[in-house]
Structure 1
Amino acid sequence: MDQFKNQIENQMQDYDNEEKDQILENFNRFKQFLSHKVDKGEKMGMSEEQLAKGAEMVANYLMKHEEPRNREEHLLQQLWKVADKEQQHTLAHLLVRLVQQ
């Protein structure tokens, strides 16, 4: 799992600031980005549990390295901060389901 975490962190770091800004400036764009990644993971045969673990890793990366750029991201950040690990995992599942629709 550490290898998977490192891979996600490396991918997130590979985006330049302009790309990150484009993804994070608008919540709908962020959802499109996440939807694309979830779709890619599904095509690779990843289960919802694996997708949620990936979403958790992305959320943890964003918490450490990025500031929210809109109200929705600010709300997600606040929820993530007050949640325990189990609640964060549930929130990650909900984000995956949100973008699967």
Structure 2
Amino acid sequence: MSEHNHVVNKEGEVALNKVDDALNRIDDSKKDDILGSFDSFKSYLSDKIEMAQKIGLNEEVMAKAAEKIAGYLAAKEEPRNSEEKLLQELWKVGDKEQQHALAHMLVRVAQSS
């Protein structure tokens, strides 16, 4: 895969506009594996957070990426468990500031997993 398809470039800069494209490239079977249970989702998110930390991304950048992912999931994926349903409902009723705070909390949940 060429570099222009990556969300993070070799300088460690995040192209938030590419997050949706990256999510759209995940096949349905992989999405089902990731979203099948909340523990699977946390584990996947934890792996991505760990990778982001290794390349030097700070929490704010990770939260902005988490915001894009949460927005995508809320708009395009049906919740597969009660935890995902709660997150979707919280996301939908929150304003931009609350969604950003929720994204930070998701990053921290993933870091503690």
TM-score norm. by structure 1 comes to 0.94
Unaligned residue ranges in structure 1 (runs of 5+): none
Unaligned residue ranges in structure 2 (runs of 5+): 1-13
Higher relative contact order structure (alpha carbons within 8 Å, sequence separation ≥ 6)? 1
Structure-1 separation of matches of 2:50 and 2:25:
20
TM-score norm. by structure 2 comes to 0.84
**What pairs up with 1:1-101 in 2 under 5 angstroms?**
4-101=15-112
Identity %: 51
Q: Which runs of 4+ in 1 moved over 6 A?
A: none
C-alpha RMSD of the superposition: 1.1
Larger radius of gyration, structure 1 or 2?
A: 2
Q: How many residues align?
A: 99
